[in-house]
A and B are shown apart, each in its own frame.
Chain A
Amino acid sequence: KAGVTQTPRYLIKTRGQQVTLSCSPISGHRSVSWYQQTPGQGLQFLFEYFSETQRNKGNFPGRFSGRQFSNSRSEMNVSTLELGDSALYLCASSLGRGSHMIGDTQYFGPGTRLTVL
């Protein structure tokens, strides 16, 4: 069973540009979550999608947005990039609603390392 895939793996952008990151969940998983990891702030929740609907959003500015498609694939977009947006962006998938009761967990992809110059 293939794991969570993320593209691209590495990205270099300049301030003011925008970027789109892609995530393909494990087959059959309907929930996709995004996290930002930086040395200073650690792992922070960005947002979560389930059946094409955003269920939760973290404390990030509106420059950060996302969406989910009918095949559960998800994209996140960051507009007007700032230096502080440099981070590892991790996508995670799970079965979704109620899956915790059967001991499911979130499975993380390899991440996209974004560098903003």
Chain B
Amino acid sequence: ELKVEQNPLFLSMQEGKNYTIYCNYSTTSDRLYWYRQDPGKSLESLFVLLSNGAVKQEGRLMASLDTKARLSTLHITAAVHDLSATYFCAVDLSYNTDKLIFGTGTRLQVFP
């Protein structure tokens, strides 16, 4: 059974600092997704990573995928308060279905 683990679960960081969230998964998959969730809100799609070595960047966030290591990272550069949210990675197993297995989530809090 596919398992997706994220670490850390909680992250409190100062504005301007850099940090990385890690997402490990247990079964081969070439597709990994990152979502953001604000308190009481739904999930917002951040990145779709479709192949080994894929790297995508949007603003202060950069995501990468290493399918051989079964590892994805979400790097935060020069954090700002607006990035405070819970970040989820998710993996699916098949090209033909939309069954996502989500990680535990990383709750990020950015303080001044």
Q: Which residues of A contact B (CB under 8 A)?
A: 31, 33, 35, 42-45, 48, 50, 55-56, 58, 90, 92, 94, 96-98, 100-101, 103-111
Contact = CB atoms under 8 A, between A and B. Distances in A.
Nearest to A109: B42
A33 B99 contact: yes
A45 B31 contact: no
Contact of B99 (A56, A90, A105, A108): A56
A28 B8 CA distance: 37
B45 A106 contact: yes
Nearest to A59: B1
18 contacts: A33-B100, A35-B100, A43-B90, A45-B99, A45-B100, A45-B101, A48-B98, A48-B99, A56-B99, A90-B42, A92-B100, A96-B98, A100-B48, A103-B48, A103-B50, A105-B45, A108-B35, A108-B43
Interface residues of B, number: 23
A33 B31 CA distance: 17
Contacts of A108: 35, 42-45
Interface of B: 31, 33, 35, 41-45, 48, 50, 88, 90, 92, 95-102, 104-105
Given A55-B96, A97-B96, 5 more contacts: A35-B102, A43-B88, A50-B97, A105-B33, A109-B42
Nearest to B41: A110
B98 A106 contact: yes
A101 B95 CA distance: 8
A90 B45 contact: no
Contacts of B90: 43
A107 B45 CA distance: 7
A98 to B, nearest CB: 6
Contacts of A45: 99-101
